[in-house]
Amino acid sequence: MKKRWIINKLPEQSEIIRLSELLKIEKPLAALLLSRGISTAEQADEFFNPDISKLHDPFLMKNMDKAVDRLSKAIIDNEKILVYGDYDVDGTSAVSLVYSFLSEVIGKDYKNYIEYYIPDRYAEGYGVSTNGVEYCRDNGFTLLITLDCGIKANDMVDLANSYGIDVIICDHHLADEQLPAAVAILDPKVNDCPYPYKELSGCGVGFKLIQGYCKKFGLPDQLWLSKIDLVAISIASDIVAITGENRILAFFGLIIINRFPRPGIKSIIEQSNIKVHYPPKEDTIFSRVISISDLVFYVGPRINAAGRMKTGRESVRLLICDDEDKSNDIGKNINTQNDVRRDLDQKATHEAIVMVQDSHEYQNRKSIVVYNPNWNKGIIGIVASRLVEKFYRPTIVMTRSSDGLITGSARSIKEFNIYDGINDCADLLEHFGGHKYAAGLSLKEENLELFIQRFEEYVSEHLNAESFIPEINVDMELDLSEITTDFVKNLKRFAPFGPGNLAPVFLSKNVVEEGMGKIVGEKHIKMRVLYRNRASQPIDAIAFNLKEYFEDIAAKKDFDILYHVEENTWNNSTTLQLNVKDIRISKEQANID
């Protein structure tokens, strides 16, 4: 698919030189810092050396005092507490964090007083459910703590209150105008919440609760410090900004994961066949460690798999387990579920692609809405993401749910707010929710055709032809000779990468392949690139899904590449590699024929 290359404007050259000399780093990296708003030595030190003491005071969050007091009362009075969270990675990691903290605070009899609850994706759906509230009532719980959900659960909180159950909400989603009648709501996105950082994950909000509890009652910092690994996993998997407080949490969470991984996380890493050293080697630049990318692509999907295929309770069991043998057993089971999920995902994705490609209607449509009653509800969000990658159109994938309704997962492209598009069709829907790039919805089957029509009309009205050409933002042009050992060492200090601090994309022009390039995995190009007419060392490169350019590359044509500078580990050896994001045959070469 053709892509637009948007080359970012570089800062002033004088500023680049000044910061480069001040920090004694390469000019391209000084330019990267400036583009991230970092222009002083103090700012650079804070960026490169995150400080755990710079975490915000949890009591800056509105209602933190009420939440801590109510939790304390429940513990002192031996009340039963139910820790409730969503079935995705953010929810299950948040439940694991709060549940394990409470078990340590309460002590050896903790199982008599606390329990966790993850709703069934298929029978209960997202958020606080009637089943969950009634479980509270039937089992004598008097305090319900919701994590990664609850901010819009007005009716469910009212139901809990009617049963004499108090609710503490820990959430990070946008609230409606009318807030639930909870005893305390912790959500930095609530309009009048003065908390200075708004981008916490759901697990991050739960983390602030336990941090606040420890601060008020003078408990050891280790009680909350030891849980930061779970916050890092939630940050990576929920795709929240890795800036400010999240950067600190992700940085130290990765340290724990790499040096002292809890048994459940270690089991997932081993099931993923990621070869790492515990602790990582310090004596080399190329030391394979777990990164945010690993959490996104290997750890997160496996934690998610339990909630997609069976029950998210298995993920919590894994994350709170302190026995290596039991963790390995749970991890293997979850990995098997992930394999099943992958098979279902691939099958449904293939079927959906065929539906789009074989339909004349889709040739002129600006949106994709596909429906198959036999698709598994747990994988339709993944399928929607796959279709966006292939066709780059706002996409909704639908199946039939157990309540007889059609349920769908929506994913969008950069230029389109899919929540607004769905909201425009709200009169046809039973339920919907989400945000700019991802949403969920349900509707009656008799409304499906009209919904498809109206959604298409809305998309067509709000996008132009250029909107359907994906962009790649390029940080700067780089000469291959600038990729030195020191450059890589300093570039690694920019991590962890993620939203708000994306891995830089570099451009190198007029390179050629050394002569040993080949197709791997049917559609990827493995090669070594260098310059044709001047001395340069060849650099390994991998170009995923870019097989279409291989014939020109093999014919020794010059080409331009966009890439990340990364490390590749193979057979316990880690080396430098360019991860090529896109290729263009150089204009002069393209016109030769």
* Position 590 pLDDT exceeds 60: no
pLDDT digits over 404-442, tens only?
899 999 999 999 999 999 999 999 999 888 778 888 899
Q: Let me know if residue 4 belongs to a domain.
A: no
pLDDT of residue 135: 97
Residue 441 shares a structural domain with residue 457: yes
Confidence of residue 284 (pLDDT cuts 50, 70, 90): very low
Q: Let me know if residue 322 belongs to a domain.
A: yes
Residue 514 shares a structural domain with residue 438: no
Confidence of residue 174 (pLDDT cuts 50, 70, 90): confident
pLDDT digits over 453-477, tens only?
999 999 999 999 999 999 999 999 9
pLDDT of residue 31: 97
Q: Let me know if residue 140 belongs to a domain.
A: yes
Total number of domains constituting the chain: 3
Whether the upstream peptide bond of residue 496 has omega within 30° of 0, thus cis, is: yes
Residue 308 shares a structural domain with residue 417: no
Q: Which range has the worst mean pLDDT, 39-43, 115-119, 224-228, 235-239?
A: 235-239
Residue 145 shares a structural domain with residue 207: yes
Q: Let me know if residue 506 belongs to a domain.
A: yes
Percent of the chain with pLDDT over 90: 80
Q: Let me know if residue 460 belongs to a domain.
A: yes
Q: How far is CA 361 from CA 319, 368, 390, in A?
A: 47, 10, 17
CA distance 123 to 557: 57
| Length of the chain (residues) | 593
CA distance 173 to 148: 8
- Picking from 444, 468, 492, the residue at the C-terminal end of a domain is 468
Section 232-254 average pLDDT: 95
pLDDT digits over 506-523, tens only?
999 999 999 889 999 989
Supply the pTM of this predicted model. 0.91
Residue 81 shares a structural domain with residue 120: yes
pLDDT of residue 280: 56
Residue 298 shares a structural domain with residue 179: yes
- Picking from 315, 332, 349, the residue at the C-terminal end of a domain is 332
CA distance 314 to 307: 8
- DSSP labels for 112-123? GTEEEE---TTT
530-553 residues labelled b (16+ CB within 10 A) or e (exposed):
bbeeeeeebbebbbeebeebbebb
Residue 446 shares a structural domain with residue 488: no
Q: Which range has the worst mean pLDDT, 208-212, 303-307, 451-455, 481-485?
A: 303-307
pLDDT of residue 361: 79
pLDDT digits over 365-404, tens only?
999 999 999 999 989 999 999 999 999 999 999 999 888 8
Task: Specify whether the CB–CB gap between 59 and 193 falls below 8 A.
Answer: no
Provide the sign of the torsion angle of the four alpha carbons 294, 297, 298, 302, taken in this order: positive
Residue 279 shares a structural domain with residue 423: no
Confidence of residue 565 (pLDDT cuts 50, 70, 90): very high
Query: What is the average pLDDT score of the chain?
Result: 92
Task: Specify whether the CB–CB gap between 492 and 293 falls below 8 A.
Answer: no
pLDDT of residue 282: 52
Percent of the chain with pLDDT over 70: 96
Whether the upstream peptide bond of residue 279 has omega within 30° of 0, thus cis, is: yes
Residue from 75, 81, 94, 103 nearest 216 by CA: 75
Section 130-144 average pLDDT: 97
Q: Let me know if residue 143 belongs to a domain.
A: yes
Q: Which range has the worst mean pLDDT, 238-252, 262-276, 538-552?
A: 262-276
Residue 278 shares a structural domain with residue 328: yes
Confidence of residue 91 (pLDDT cuts 50, 70, 90): very high
Q: Let me know if residue 405 belongs to a domain.
A: yes
Half-sphere exposure of 585 (CA within 13 A, CB side): 17
pLDDT of residue 592: 45
pLDDT digits over 58-68, tens only?
999 999 999 99
CATH number, domain with residue 520 = 2.40.50.460
Q: Which range has the worst mean pLDDT, 91-95, 278-282, 405-409, 480-484?
A: 278-282
Confidence of residue 307 (pLDDT cuts 50, 70, 90): confident
Tell me which residue has tokens 């009212």: 158
Residue 225 parent element (H or E): helix 222-225
pLDDT of residue 422: 96
Section 114-128 average pLDDT: 89
Residue from 231, 301, 293, 220 nearest 262 by CA: 231
pLDDT of residue 591: 47
Phi/psi for 355 (5° steps) reads -60, -40
Residue 498 shares a structural domain with residue 456: no
Residue 442 shares a structural domain with residue 503: no
Residue 464 shares a structural domain with residue 477: no
* Position 221 pLDDT exceeds 90: yes
Which residues form the domain of 488?
472-590
* Position 287 pLDDT exceeds 70: no
CATH number, domain with residue 281 = 3.90.1640.30
pLDDT digits over 338-364, tens only?
899 999 999 999 999 999 998 887 878
CA distance 266 to 280: 14
Q: Let me know if residue 25 belongs to a domain.
A: no
